[in-house]
Structures are given as structure tokens and as C-alpha cells.
Amino acid sequence: MSSLLIKNGRVATLNERLDIVEGGGVYIEDTKIVEVGRIPEHRHKADRVIDAAGKVIMPGLINAHHHLYSTFARGFAPPGEPAADFEEILEHLWWKLDRALDAEDVYYSALLVLLDCVKAGCTTIIDHHASPSCRDGSLELIEKAFRDAGLNGCLCYEVSDRNVEGGGVEENERFITRCLQAGDDQITAMFGLHASMTIGNKTLDRCAEIGNRLRSGFHVHAAEDRIDQQVTQKEFRARVLERFHAAGITGPKSIFVHCVHLDPAERDLLRGTNSMVVHNPESNMNNAVGAARWMDLLKSGVLVGLGTDGMASAMIASARAAYLLQRHAQEDPRVAFGESCDLLLKNNRAICERIFRDKRGVLAPGALADVIVVDYTPFTPMNSGNFYGHLLYGLNDAPVDTTVCRGRVLMEQGKLARPGEEELRAKCVERAAKLWKRIR
């Protein structure tokens, strides 16, 4: 049994009371937290001690929707005229890039961004993958990257009919079955779908039958842009959430991503089925698809979490973007402050409680030992009543000093424990350049 003591810090427990403990610490044995608070050093003989003096100790962050495969898009300009709308963004960039990925690209693009997640203090990532030319076995390549990086992940493959009918159905079924048999809570699986506009009825019915039989829950893009609603209504005589509900993929274990263009009846469907939604503010602004009305969903009782949609891995920055976008869209300076923090700190934790066995996102005895130390010394008082202000306007810009996941120190004093980062980044530059040449 290994043990770790992180001491002398300002502990932000993120429990229901948002308790802050001055001069506190966290004691860990194996993968679980044993004690939190003011811990006398003589009480435990830890194998390793980390001094967090002058820093904030808090739970590892959670990203409820990522696209690790998008790593090699950074700096790439698709050939031809700039995309004029969301449909062209998919056709000119993402569907060309994901089709060009090979097995090494899948692994290295995932590993590289997962190491950036470590640096950003993000310890659990719910990912959504696509690589049509390297589909079968791709989720195991990503699983390997997660295990090599030391992080927790929930994986799925993005089924659509855009390349071949039902592409990815078997990959989801195989990987979900494998995870169920393994019973390893570090890596879990969901059944992934792209969007209603790229999935025919035959494929949707197959996905629903397999996913429900395996009780995996579904991870699907929904009404990100108006084009999804337009195609769905024209081709299938229903709105996006109506169609998904009729097929049987709504429910408490299913995540519907974006949900920018829903009508009141669709919002009622989400609430009535206890389905989950993940908001991705930076991506929505980047793609110019609109500002999701996620506060209406929250008020009606829908569980809404926060993701980055492959844009980045800095989750506090994403919470700040959610807050600013809502104030801008509603032209109201009174809204979204506490709610945007709740998306990240409370709701992402609640989403994980439906997907993983181990409790996380809080510093408490019995919780998963996912802990970060942030190099932040507030120059105004910090307490449970104003912690959210420090989160969005202080911790947002502060570097993560130490990241611990499942009791394992992945980074300390800003340096990754894993060797070979420079070589990895150089290799990824080479792979990205070759990938770009394959895109036409």
C-alpha cells in the first residue's frame, strides 16, 4: 500500500458547504482519500510528502466532453475557401482530418493532449472519438494513452453513416463489452453517435438496441447547429430530441452535447427522461452556432455539465467562458456567475456519478484520490462564500503546480513525472505535418 500526504495548503474541499481549510492537507492511501483537514504530521507515516505552503489544494477537474483526436488540427488551415457555416466547418476540416488519422496519430494525439490535461489539473475526461480510416481498435489505442498518462476516461466511438453505413457500431459494442468484463473503473465506455443529421433510421435503431442491451448510455451531439434540426425534420419528420427519444436513447445515463437549438418540448423531454446535457461555450462561439439556453435547462431540473469539445483542456477557463457568454447573450449582468461554476464543480461530478463507480470531484474520505495543487495565493480574503469569485478571477490564471490522479503523482512543481515529453512533442509535430499532407 502506497501513501501520500499533501500538507500546509489552503484546502478547497468542494463539499456541499464549499468548506475552506487553512493550513490543511489531504492524506491518501493507494487510490483513495483517507483524511482531509488539519492533519498532525505524526498521525500518518506517509511514503511521500508534498508541501503545498502558499498554494490551494482542490479536487482534480473533470471535462465532460472532449475530442482528443482534434489535437493535430492546431495551426492547420484547410484547403480552399474559409468555411462559411457549421456544415462547411465539418466538411472542410473535421471530416477530412478524422478520415486522415492512422493508428499512430490516434495514440499520439490522445497522449499529447492528455499530458496537457495533467498540466491543467484535469483528471477525468469523457471523450468522443472518430477516425474512420482507423476505426476498429481505435478505442483501445486511446485507452492505452489514458493509462500511459495516468488519467481516468470514459470513451466512445462516433457512429455515423457519412463514410459507411453504421460506421463504428461494432467498435462501440466491442469496447463497451470489454470494459464491462474488465470491471476497471479507470476506463469506462458509452455508446457514441455523431448527430441526428448523419445517422439514418437503420443505424439509429441498431445503436439503440445494442446500447440499451449493454446499458451503456449514449454520448451524442444534439442540435449543435440549426442544420441538425433542418435535416432531421426534412428527412425524418421529427425534431432532434423527439427522434432520439422515440428511438430509445434518452435517459439518465445518456449525454446530449451542445443542445443549442432546442424548442421547449425538447427541453421538457430532457427533463422528463432525466437525460444529461453538456455545454461547450468556447466551441459554440468558435463555430458561430449560437448561445445555448442552458440556464433554462438548469432551472427546469436538467443536469447540465461543462466540456470543451476539443478546443482546450483548461476547465476553469471554460467555466468563465460559460459565464461571460450567458451574460453577453442575455444582456444581463446578474446571471450565470454561480451557475457556471456549478456546471464545472458540481454538475460534472454528478455526471461522473452516473458513469463511474468511484466518487470524485470532492476532497472527502473515501473519494478517489484525484487532487491538484494550484499555485495561487489570494490577495483578498478567500472563504466558502466567495470561492467562486476566486475561481473565475484568480484560479483561472494560476498555474497548476501538482496533479495527483488515483493516488499517483503525475506532476510536481510543474514538471511531469512521465519522462520524454520533449521527444513526444517533437514526434507529434512530425506526425501532424504528415497528416496535413494527406488532407485534400
Domains of the chain, each with CATH number or no CATH? 3-60+360-416 (2.30.40.10), 61-355 (3.20.20.140)
Do 152 and 187 form a contact (C-beta atoms < 8 A)?
A: yes
Per-residue pLDDT of the chain (440 residues; tens, 9 = 90+): 899 999 999 999 999 999 999 999 999 999 999 999 999 878 999 999 999 999 999 999 999 999 999 999 999 998 889 999 999 999 999 999 999 999 999 999 999 999 999 999 999 999 999 999 999 999 999 999 999 999 999 999 999 999 999 999 999 999 999 999 998 999 999 999 999 999 999 999 999 999 999 999 999 999 999 999 999 999 999 999 999 999 999 999 999 999 999 999 999 999 999 999 999 999 999 999 999 999 999 999 999 999 999 999 999 999 999 999 999 999 999 999 999 999 999 999 999 999 999 999 999 999 999 999 999 999 999 999 999 999 999 999 999 999 999 999 999 999 999 999 999 999 999 999 999 999 97
Residue 226: how many other CB atoms lie within 10 Å: 15
Q: Strand locations in 90-177, DSSP E?
A: 122-127, 152-155
In whole angstroms, give the CA distance from residue 149 to residue 117: 9
In whole angstroms, give the CA distance from residue 38 to residue 392: 26
b/e string for 390-401 if b means 16 or more Cβ within 10 A? Answer: bbbebbbebebb
Report strand pairing: 56-59 vs 371-374.
Answer: antiparallel
pLDDT of residue 255: 98
User: Reading across the β-sheet that carries 187-189, which strands appear in turn?
Assistant: 61-66, 122-127, 152-155, 187-189
What is the largest distance, in Å, between two alpha-carbon atoms of the chain? 70
Residue 307: how many other CB atoms lie within 10 Å: 31
Alpha carbon of 203 to those of 90, 162, 197, 245: distances in Å?
20, 11, 12, 15
- Regarding pTM above 0.95, the answer is yes
C-alpha cell of residue 378 = 489570494
Q: Strand locations in 69-164, DSSP E?
A: 122-127, 152-155
Do 307 and 62 form a contact (C-beta atoms < 8 A)?
A: no
- Helical (H) or strand (E) element with 363: none
In whole angstroms, give the CA distance from residue 38 to residue 127: 36
Q: Strand locations in 86-208, DSSP E?
A: 122-127, 152-155, 187-189, 191-193
In whole angstroms, give the CA distance from residue 278 to residue 257: 5
Report strand pairing: 408-412 vs 415-416.
Answer: antiparallel
Residue 12: how many other CB atoms lie within 10 Å: 25
Rounded-to-5 percentages of helix, strand, coil across the chain: 45, 20, 35
Q: In terms of residues, how long is the chain? A: 440
In whole angstroms, give the CA distance from residue 70 to residue 26: 35
Q: Strand locations in 204-309, DSSP E?
A: 218-222, 255-258, 276-279, 303-306
